[in-house]
Amino acid sequence: MFSLFAFFCAVVLYFAPAIVAHHRRHESSGGIFLVNLLLGWSIIGWIACFAWACSGNTWSYCHLNAIADSPSAPPTWWSPYSAPLSLGTYDLVQGGILDLSK
**Which pLDDT tens digit goes with each residue over 18-27?**
999 999 989 8
How far is residue 74 from each of residues 67, 70, 77, 78, measured CA to CA in Å? 9, 9, 8, 6
Packing angle of the helix pair 2-14, 16-23 (nearest 10 deg)? 60
Sequence-separated (6 or more) residues with CB below 8 Å from residue 95: 81
CA-angle at 8, arms to 3 and 13, nearest 5°: 125
pLDDT digit string, tens, across residues 56-78: 777 766 555 544 445 555 555 55
Dist CA 22 CA 20 (whole Å): 5
The pLDDT tens digits for 72-99 are 555 555 555 554 444 444 444 444 454 4
For the whole prediction, is pTM greater than 0.75? Answer: no
Give the separation between CA 34 and CA 26, rounded to whole angstroms: 14
CA distance 77 to 75: 5
